[in-house]
Amino acid sequence: MNGNNRGYPVDFETKFDQAFQQAVEALPFYTDADRRKSWEHIREKLNRDKIRRKRRKQMQLAGIVAASMLIGGVIFSPPLATQAISPIYQELKNWGNGVTQLVFGNGRQTDSTGVMASIPAVQPDEGEAQPTRKSIHLVASNVSEVVKVSEEEARESLDFPLPNLTYIPERFQLQSIEIIIPAELQGDPNPFGKSAHLRYRSDQGHFLRISFDLLLQNETMTMTNLYAEKTEEVELDNGSIAYLSTGHGKAKINLMLGNVHFMAYGQVSREEILRIANGIE
């Protein structure tokens, strides 16, 4: 049965598209002041919801630990030494002709011929987020948008502990911190900050960008490095594996910090980008 049998006019879809376009064009323009007011409105809700999630997670973990100890004591005698398997992984794929691809994921690992590096499992903490939908929208207006905040506001709203950067080259000054807040189209009852992006600039106009992106369950992130970039696997001072790319007077480094993807990219040297990564706390 087609649409005409239901009584819709022949040009229904055309008129609908026109009406929809007019409605979009009529949407108000949001200034920075409007966005700041919207941010202040949702910050209280972010804090309340984050506290509730932490308490609920602590109670769940306490129950899980107690049950695991009881079951382990009954079944295993003596206890067996085991190693936890982490769902977090990162991978370097070499496609030949100087083209490489980086893959970072949480819980969904596909077969490949690349070089795989498993991330050591860590005990669950309040920084790990519960699975949610991958779409990202601004809570106030339900459109994808970046919100500029202070460092304190970023730490309050992110659903993972924002790491400290103990080294940034002296010539760079912090210009802005931006976060992305995911939400359901109809309004998410538990909004939280999923990503933080830090932008630096020097007096000479050189740039440096640093990002922290939370990877939710079954979420992956891929990056392709083209011919002009040389990508290599490096070991940091703490034993972590990172991927370093250089070319065109720029350097970039990628690695996983638990279930958070870290990237630093800018007009810096190889030694400086390594020092930035080694200075993460």
Q: Does domain 88-278 have CATH number 3.30.200.100?
A: yes
Tell me the residue ranges of DSSP E strands in the chain. Answer: 88-96, 99-106, 115-118, 147-149, 172-180, 195-202, 207-214, 219-225, 230-235, 241-247, 250-257, 260-266
Mean pLDDT, consecutive 10-residue stretches, the chain (281 aa), reads 54 63 55 60 65 58 48 42 60 77 76 47 39 34 66 90 97 95 52 87 97 87 73 94 92 94 97 98 93
User: 211-227 b/e with 16+ CB inside 10 Å = b?
Assistant: bbbbbbeebebebebee
The pLDDT of residue 91:
83
d(CA 157, CA 183): 13
* Residue 158 DSSP code: B
Q: Domain ranges in the chain?
A: 88-278
Separation of alpha carbons 147 and 154, rounded Å: 10
Query: What is the Cα 272 distance to its own chain's centre?
Result: 23
Residue among 276, 210, 252, 236 at smallest CA distance from 117: 236
pLDDT at 181: 77
Q: How much is the pTM?
A: 0.58
Q: pLDDT averaged over the chain? A: 71
